[in-house]
């Protein structure tokens, strides 16, 4: 700071900052000399930043920031926290929001059983509404645009008994809003997703026992109604055994091709290395020291039993039956434990082994990951399963029902499993697909699950975990601020979304929340009158955020900077500006 300009207290500087920013004092030249000196004082703005935002001092500055002043202004001025519009065309709870990749359109799903398509212009307007009740749907719950925004996937729930788990996926053309095809989807909270421009993934569930089942994931062509009868329009991708009442739900696809050039590195040491040497990362290992370490096997999705001296599974199953008949099994096994034991023995030699190397080594790899929630201890989703999809599996051409597998390979194994130790209620990918964000409600630390139909109680606090899909490890500490109150058996999905710099989530406490991805801090709470079910950033403008709520409204939020720009574009009477300037001089 200049010698003639004394250092001001932080609180005073903050008030000056707000005043200058809102009143546009700089544009008319008032106190410019002192302000330029203040803005150049990096030490002062660094101190103010750490104190005001309560960031730990071992957290470095954002790698894209030019100065601490610019960074302070970014977090103050670019958060979409100003409500600019409330959309009230739905007449029941709004459950989900999704933007097109161009950002020009977005879709909303609701308990009123409609999917609505909106035009994202200066003022958002309704463009089309499709009622799905004629197809025996109870409500719409999820939507996703394909990669070129020509098709919209809409997932819904069938009308049926309270415990019904069936749903359906519909594909709608964005050219004329016609319904192109419908695909069964069970359970309905598989939701479904696009694999590429014309193929989507759905699920089916087959019961094997009371708590044992088989999930089948299908690849479907979006144009089933108009394809030739000589061309496959559906193909089985994977068939996976479920134990202890668990099922596969919430499928999504991550593209591995951008892992070498992410939008934002969350590991601070990796940030430093990238900024100084710009290395090309080897996705197989992170360092030479790691190369020298023995490779640990990937955690299997199905926990294998100890192999007693290499005894085949058939012999092990027969031995179990003999032990039961002759009373050699103790303590007495419950019916549930017996079913799980038999299922594990049955599947041991009937499962296709995992891929030898989950992580792609080619930076131009076309490999994709299928990511979904699953479990092994109880019906509530508490694990994330990851299965690699190879290029030849990304089309419905070829064998329809997996004839390429050996006859004894009845099931597919997972390539990796991430244990969350809690009930998963939301997942979202960063725009570069490098990081997976997971909403969960934690179980008690030392809980023991003895009955898969009685999961542990879950916390009211929601933990937002972050996993690096390049290393398959959790990064940073879990984010907290949002809360949920429903118990296990009534727990529902709360959708989150991730932009380049921010992550947002709904909550049951009548607020949406926004965090900064780099600093791991909560920046804003967005008010609604009921549960906030879903949030969505514009993919081309992260200063625009939508929130959807049980209060039947969709709220549109913009940053203070975006609001000022919009207001500045409107004509203003010159008389008011002249009067303001005269008052300042007096």
Whether 479 is in a domain gets the answer yes
Last residue of a domain, one of 34, 55, 78: 78
pLDDT at 333: 63
Listed residues 60, 78, 96: the one ending a domain: 78
Total count of domains within the chain: 2
Cβ neighbourhood burial of 280 (10 Å; 0-12, 13-18, 19+): exposed
Measured distance CA(464)–CA(466) in Å, rounded = 7
CATH of the domain at 148: 2.130.10.10
The dihedral region occupied by 487, where left means phi > 0, alpha psi between -120 and 50, and beta the remainder, is beta
Same domain, 410 and 549: yes
258-317 pLDDT, tens digit per residue, is: 777 787 877 766 665 555 433 322 223 333 333 333 333 333 333 333 343 444 555 554
pLDDT for 13 equals 53
pLDDT of residue 568: 80
Please spell the DSSP secondary structure of 472-510, one letter per residue.
Answer: TEE-SPPB---B----GGG-----EEE-SSEEEE-BTTS
The reply to whether 507 and 379 lie within a common domain is yes
The reported pLDDT for the residue numbered 329 is: 57
Task: State which residues form the domain around 28.
Answer: 10-78
343 in any annotated domain: no
- Name the stretches of the chain with pLDDT < 70: 1-40, 161-163, 225-232, 268-333, 335, 337-351, 355-365, 398-409, 570-586
Residues 66 and 126 in one domain: no
User: Both 192 and 178 in a single domain?
Assistant: yes
Domain membership of residue 519 (yes or no) is yes
Q: What is the CATH number of the domain that holds 20?
A: 1.20.1280
Contact 211, 199 (CB under 8 A): no
Residues 407 and 542 in one domain: yes
- 3-state DSSP call for residue 544? strand
Pair (37, 167) in one structural domain: no
Whether 74 is covered by a domain: the verdict is yes
**How much is the pLDDT for 370?**
97
Helix orientation angle between 32-40 and 10-23, rounded to the nearest 10 degrees? 120
């Amino acid at each position: 700071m200049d010698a003639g300009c004394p250092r001001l207290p932080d609180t005073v500087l903050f008030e000056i900052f707000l005043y200058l920013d809102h009143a546009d004092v700089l544009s008319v030249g008032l106190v410019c000399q002192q302000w330029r000196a203040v803005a150049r004082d990096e030490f002062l703005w660094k101190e103010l930043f750490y104190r005001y935002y309560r960031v730990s001092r071992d957290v470095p500055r954002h790698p894209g920031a030019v100065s601490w002043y610019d960074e302070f202004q970014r977090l103050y001025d670019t958060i979409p926290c100003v409500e600019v519009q409330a959309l009230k065309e739905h007449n029941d709870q709004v459950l989900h929001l999704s933007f097109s990749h161009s950002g020009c359109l977005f879709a909303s799903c609701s308990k009123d059983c409609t999917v609505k398509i909106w035009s994202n212009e200066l003022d958002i307007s309704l463009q089309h509404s499709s009622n799905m009740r004629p197809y025996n749907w109870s409500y719409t719950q999820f939507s996703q645009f394909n990669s070129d925004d020509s098709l919209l996937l809409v997932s819904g729930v069938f009308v049926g008994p309270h415990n019904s788990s069936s749903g359906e996926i519909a594909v709608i053309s964005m050219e004329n809003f016609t319904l192109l095809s419908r695909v069964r989807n069970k359970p309905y909270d598989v939701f479904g997703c696009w694999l590429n421009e014309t193929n989507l993934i759905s699920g089916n569930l087959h019961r094997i026992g009371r708590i044992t089942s088989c999930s089948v994931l299908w690849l479907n062509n979006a144009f089933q109604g108009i394809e030739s009868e000589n061309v496959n329009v559906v193909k089985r991708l994977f068939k996976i055994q479920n134990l202890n009442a668990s099922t596969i739900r919430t499928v999504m696809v991550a593209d591995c091709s951008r892992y070498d050039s992410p939008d934002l590195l969350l590991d601070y040491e990796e940030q430093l290395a990238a900024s100084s040497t710009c290395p090309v990362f080897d996705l197989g290992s992170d360092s030479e020291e790691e190369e020298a370490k023995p490779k640990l096997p990937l955690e299997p999705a199905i926990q294998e039993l100890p192999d007693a001296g290499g005894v085949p599974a058939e012999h092990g199953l027969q031995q179990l039956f003999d032990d039961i008949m002759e009373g050699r099994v103790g303590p007495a096994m419950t019916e549930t434990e017996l079913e799980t034991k038999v299922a594990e023995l049955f599947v041991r030699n009937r499962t296709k082994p995992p891929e030898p190397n989950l992580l792609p080594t080619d930076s131009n790899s076309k490999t994709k990951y299928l990511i979904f929630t699953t479990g092994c201890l109880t019906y509530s989703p508490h694990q994330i399963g990851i299965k690699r999809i190879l290029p030849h599996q990304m089309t419905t051409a070829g064998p329809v029902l997996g004839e390429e597998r050996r006859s004894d390979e009845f099931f597919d194994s997972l390539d990796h499993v991430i244990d969350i130790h809690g009930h998963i209620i939301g997942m979202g990918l960063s725009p570069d697909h490098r990081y997976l964000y997971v909403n969960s409600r934690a179980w008690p630390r030392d809980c023991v699950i003895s009955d898969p139909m009685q999961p542990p109680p879950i916390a009211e606090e929601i933990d937002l975990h972050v996993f690096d899909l390049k290393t398959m490890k959790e990064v940073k500490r879990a984010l907290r601020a949002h809360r949920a109150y429903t118990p296990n058996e009534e727990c529902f999905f709360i959708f989150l979304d991730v932009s380049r710099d921010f992550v947002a989530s709904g909550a049951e406490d009548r607020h949406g929340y926004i965090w900064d991805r780099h600093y791991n801090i909560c920046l804003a709470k967005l008010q609604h009158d009921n549960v906030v079910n879903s949030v969505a950033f514009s993919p081309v403008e992260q200063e625009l955020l939508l929130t959807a709520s049980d209060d039947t409204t969709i709220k549109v939020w913009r940053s203070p900077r975006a609001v000022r720009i919009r207001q500045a574009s409107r004509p203003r009477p010159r008389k008011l500006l002249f009067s303001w300037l005269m008052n300042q001089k007096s």
